[in-house]
Structure 1
Amino acid sequence: MAEYAAVIQQKFLESEDEDEETVSDNAPVVNDPAIHSARVEPLVEDLTTELPTETGLRVELDADLDDLFAWQYQISSLRFWEVIRRACVDDPVSKYARGDSLEAVRKRLAAISEKFNIPVEFHAVPVFGPDVTRDMLNVRPGEAQAVNFPLQLHHSPDESVVVNNPRDGHLRMVKSLSPKVITLVEQESNTNTAPFFARFIETLDYYSAMFESIDVTLPRDRKERINVEKHCLARDIVNIIACEGKERVERHELFGKWKSRFTMAGFRQYSLSSYVNSVIKSLLRCYSEHYTLVENDGAMLLGWKDRNLISASAWH
């Protein structure tokens, strides 16, 4: 997850085989097992306890190269499934900016499938997130649906930008799939509808904490850090500060607002795994006492000192 590069990244990058560190020279791959576990663990726990072994599992999510690390660590929990089908949504121009990301996802999934000896089917959906429809996802009767939003849903404009509110419309479309679980990970920042000065102050505070946390984790000349700062953080900051209207796609909201949106769309919140909490806390202690992990309003909040940076939650 490129947006939270600071968290417990270095140890896992060094422990991975060299061929697993980078999928594409143009795509920054940041291995963040803490957030990945927060996303996947509720999914694995719920599905593996409620569904028969012959039922296939389908995962719908926006394409995220780094999200695949979650499956590398967690997919072994699903060994008994007959087949895992994964549909990845990514905008149709990203391959020019990030090195053909959907193809990179396909290759990574193929490697994971071979490693764990689990059949994995991949279905690429090269469209912008707000334009996704149920028909594009090739849903099959009897499948267990799982939906993951890894730092992507805030890219969909809401009612303050477009009258028909694609952000909430996206959630209603997902609700029509009747998924067993939805996992949401978002920046804990309030820049969506804030006026310029308030947005500037919020961005300064948020990314100051972000860069400070990175300083204690990665040297400034480390390739992974340079990639994250160049391809993700700098791009996001410029978009938040310099763009308005439809051109501003980085529209972060606090978890309380996301909870309201999900509740209005008909979702209910899952409790997060206590196992995930203990694992993440032990990992965070390896790096700095200033990393924080708290549960608030049913969500897991990861932060630096007194600033929350990332929220993670699970829904159904």
Structure 2
Amino acid sequence: MVGEGLKALASKIGVCLTFSVKNSHTTDLSRENLGVEQDEALAVNFAFKLYKLADESVTTENPRDDLVRRVKGMSPTVTTVVEQDMNANTAPLTARVRETCEYYGALLESLEATVSRENPDRARVEEALGRKMGNSVACEGRDRVERCEVLGKWRARMSMAGFQPVPMGQPVAESLRVKLNSGTRGNPGFTVNDQSGGICFGWMGRTLTVASAWR
């Protein structure tokens, strides 16, 4: 499904695309194992993936930072990070409960404003969000896989691995605003802002997701 979607998009914009799936452990990551040709540009997209990896607060192996360093070692032309903007990793329990309630409260409000209660997909989404909330506040150690961090923390991790930020700029934010406001019902309350070189997507002023680019 992903491959077909990418091929359709590539054909639409006139890009020649070959799609293949690689199944390997992160410790085996290399340009050679990925089949990257010598003069070929490599782009890495961390979209809602890093937050599930344990960090130094869970194990000295720190697979979160280890993966980032391994990717940097492959010298990608660009690396993008897209994550929930939520301080729920190393925060104490009381702060984590408050942050979880505020974050998912805003997310559920946006769902209420945009998806009909009769829509069968809505119940499945709400159920999935409920599991994520429960894991964020009720589990500890390796049992807690919901370990979201805010943009500042991701910036620190990427910088320590040797990455330099690539500002995405106001034009990107503006193009997203145009798309949000172009629907027949208008924009019910979503926000898009350029902050510290990253693009912040939120609801009623509360940032929910942040995208940043690195090289």
**TM-score range with shorter-chain normalisation?**
0.7 to 0.9
Could you state the TM-score of these two structures normalised by the residue count of structure 2? 0.87
Taking only the aligned residue pairs, the percentage that are identical comes to: 40
Could you state the TM-score of these two structures normalised by the residue count of structure 1? 0.61
Given that 2:80 and 2:213 are in contact with CA atoms closer than 8 Å, whether structure 1 keeps it comes out as yes
Unaligned 5+ segments in structure 1 are: 1-103
Q: Tell me which of 146, 154, 160 is aligned to 1:250.
A: 146
**One-letter amino acid matched to 1:294:** N
Cα RMSD (Å): 2.1
Deviation of residue 117 (structure 1)?
A: 6.2
Deviation of residue 140 (structure 1)?
A: 2.2
TM-superposition CA deviations, 1:208-243 (whole Å, max 9, x none)? 01001111111122234334323x422312221222
**Partner Cα distance (1:256, 1:268) in 2:** 14
Given that 1:293 and 1:303 are in contact with CA atoms closer than 8 Å, whether structure 2 keeps it comes out as yes
Q: Secondary structure at the match of 2:202?
A: strand
Write out aligned runs for 1:187-226 (5 A): 187-226=84-123
1:304 equivalenced with 2:197 (yes/no): no
Write out aligned runs for 1:1-316 (5 A): 104-112=1-9, 118-127=15-24, 130-131=26-27, 133-134=29-30, 135-230=32-127, 232-285=128-181, 286-288=186-188, 290-316=189-215
TM-superposition CA deviations, 1:288-311 (whole Å, max 9, x none)? 2x3222222211111122321111
Instruction: Assess, with a 3 A threshold, how the Cα gap between structure 1 residues 291 and 113 changes in structure 2: closer, same or farther.
Output: closer
Instruction: Assess, with a 3 A threshold, how the Cα gap between structure 1 residues 279 and 110 changes in structure 2: closer, same or farther.
Output: closer
**Partner Cα distance (1:178, 1:126) in 2:** 20
Deviation of residue 106 (structure 1)?
A: 3.1
**One-letter amino acid matched to 2:44:** V
**Partner Cα distance (1:315, 1:198) in 2:** 30
Deviation of residue 256 (structure 1)?
A: 0.3
**Partner Cα distance (2:15, 2:78) in 1:** 21
Given that 2:170 and 2:194 are in contact with CA atoms closer than 8 Å, whether structure 1 keeps it comes out as no
Instruction: Assess, with a 3 A threshold, how the Cα gap between structure 1 residues 156 and 216 changes in structure 2: closer, same or farther.
Output: same
Deviation of residue 114 (structure 1)?
A: 5.7
Unaligned 5+ segments in structure 2 are: none
**One-letter amino acid matched to 1:310:** T
**One-letter amino acid matched to 2:21:** A
Q: Secondary structure at the match of 2:38?
A: coil
**One-letter amino acid matched to 2:131:** R
Instruction: Assess, with a 3 A threshold, how the Cα gap between structure 1 residues 204 and 132 changes in structure 2: closer, same or farther.
Output: farther
**One-letter amino acid matched to 2:138:** A
Aligned length, in residue pairs: 210
